[in-house]
Amino acid sequence: MTAFLARRTATLGITVLLASFVVFLIPYVTPGDPVRKIIRSRVAGEVIDDSVAQALAADLGLQDPLMMQYLRWLGRLLGGDMGLSYASRTPVAEQVLPALAVTLSLVVMTLGAAAAVSVVLGVVAALQEGRAADRVITTVTQAFIAVPEYWLAPVLVLVFALNLSLLPSAGWSGPSSAVLPVAVLALRPTSYFTSAVREGVLDALGAEHVVAARARGLGRVRTLRRHVLPNGLLPLTTLVAVWFAGLLGGSVIVEVVFAIPGMGRLLYDAVRNSDIPLAQGGVVVVVGLAVLLTTAADLVHGLLNPRLRGRRA
């Protein structure tokens, strides 16, 4: 167990460091003078002449080896200093944190809805394996995968916001404004979650201890609750964490269509305005959280599944 935790913690640290180094290199791999880009992110002001730029570059240590600059940048980042936004001239952290709170709310609601629906559908499909209910659930949920978000979002806005006037078409002002974005984002994870629950429950139903429990006369509902669901829902923990990480930065289309001030919208605006400090801050926060969540899910999965822990340790 100790070896398993040490290995996962070491992997987490290495992954975060590699990701942060890639993000640090953004000014060096995009068009333009990287020194002037970095100076713009550290010093407020619209015009910087050559003599001032050289002096600032020396003061900021931009003539030092790249690795030394990276370590200084990482130190500032760990202290919460992400630089100044090119567009607003305000600290990047002041824009990233509110946007992150909005996206986290959206993602939690999306995965909560997807998990609740998929548990019901997956269990029903497994218990009705090969019958009409199983075939209908499997076919419909698989069809969800083929529905693109950029098509579904405008259709839902047209029907429920503009024609029926039941829900807001845009904004982030209350529970009703979250209904359509959550519906769009939840479609694909619901499909994958339902398939995973169905397979997990089928595997659990065939386990020897479950068959023995049924042979001893344990009721179907009690067998399902005590022996089938704890193991059958195990794959869902990893899937939810993976989708959580993906939706943190993958909700761009939905946030843009519904005018939601989240991380997806922030990164979209940063790229559109060539706002490198804002893009760096947003990406490093999203990647860091994604790696942390995925590792946490892996740890939980390993703790709940001794066979998996043994193989990985």
Does residue 214 share a domain with residue 121? yes
Task: Report the sign of the C-alpha dihedral through residues 110, 111, 113, 118, in that order.
Answer: positive
Quick one: pLDDT at residue 149? Answer: 85
- Asked if 141 and 64 sit in the same domain, the reply is no
Please provide the average confidence, as pLDDT, over all residues in the chain.
83
Q: Is residue 32 part of a domain?
A: yes
pLDDT band at 34 (very low <50, low <70, confident <90, very high): low
DSSP per residue, 226-261? IIIHHHHTHHHHHHHHHHHHHHHHH-HHHHHHTT--
State whether 181 and 122 are in the same domain.
yes
Mark which of 17, 48, 79 sits at the end of a domain: 79
- Structural domain contains residue 91: no
pLDDT at 38 over 60: yes
Asked if residue 21 is part of any domain, the answer here is: yes
Classify residue 267: in a domain, yes or no.
yes
The pTM is what? Answer: 0.78
Number of domains into which the chain is organized: 2
**Would you place residue 221 in the very low, low, confident or very high pLDDT band (cuts 50, 70, 90)?**
confident
Domain assignment present for 219 = yes
Residues with Cβ within 8 Å of residue 179, at least 6 apart in sequence = 167
Lowest mean pLDDT among 133-147, 173-187, 193-207, 241-255: 241-255
Return the C-alpha torsion angle 124, 190, 231, 235, nearest 10: 150
Instruction: Tell me whether residue 84 is in a domain.
Output: no
Looking at the fold, whether 2 and 120 belong to one and the same domain comes out as: no
Domain termination site, one of 52, 79, 106:
79
Q: How confident is the model at residue 169 (pLDDT cuts 50, 70, 90)?
A: confident
| 295 against 53, higher pLDDT | 295
Name the band, by pLDDT with cuts 50, 70 and 90, for residue 310.
low
Residue 90 resides in a domain: no
Task: Reduce the DSSP state of residue 14 to 3 states and report it.
Answer: helix
Are residues 144 and 288 both part of a single domain? yes
* Distance in angstroms (rounded) separating the CA atoms of residues 127 and 120: 11
Contact 122, 193 (CB under 8 A): yes
246 and 280 both lie in a single domain: yes
Q: How far is CA 125 from CA 43, 80, 256, in A?
A: 60, 48, 35
73 and 203 share a domain? no
Confidence tier at 264 by pLDDT (50, 70, 90): confident
Q: Please check whether residues 244 and 108 belong to one and the same domain.
A: yes
Asked if residue 89 is part of any domain, the answer here is no
> What pLDDT does 313 receive?
46
Residue 72 has pLDDT above 80, yes or no: yes
Own/partner contacts of 147-151, CB < 8 Å, gap of 24 or more, are 147/187, 147/188, 149/184, 149/185, 149/187, 149/253, 149/254, 150/253, 150/257
CATH number for the domain including 122?
Answer: 1.10.3720.10
Domain boundary among 50, 79, 108: 79
Same domain flag for 158 and 220: yes
| The residue type at 146 | A
**Residue 84 DSSP SS3:** strand
How far, in Å, CA of 294 to CA of 154, rounded? 31
Spatial distance between the Cα atoms of 236 and 67, rounded to a whole number of angstroms: 40
Residues 180 and 115 occupy one common structural domain? yes
Is the predicted pLDDT of residue 253 greater than 60, yes or no?
yes
**Out of 32-41, 55-64, 84-93, 239-248, which region has the weakest mean confidence (pLDDT)?**
32-41
Say if residue 66 is in the same domain as residue 116: no
pLDDT for residue 187 = 92
Reference 185, options 241, 88, 127, 113; nearest CA is 113
Coil, strand or helix at 91: strand
What does DSSP assign to residue 147? S
What would the mean pLDDT of 4-33 be, rounded to a whole number?
Answer: 80
Tell me the residue range of the domain where 26 lies. 1-79
Query: Which tens digit of pLDDT belongs to each residue from 100-153?
Result: 999 999 999 999 999 999 999 999 999 999 999 999 999 999 888 888 888 899
d(CA 140, CA 14): 41
Instruction: Indicate whether 69 and 169 sit together in one domain.
Output: no
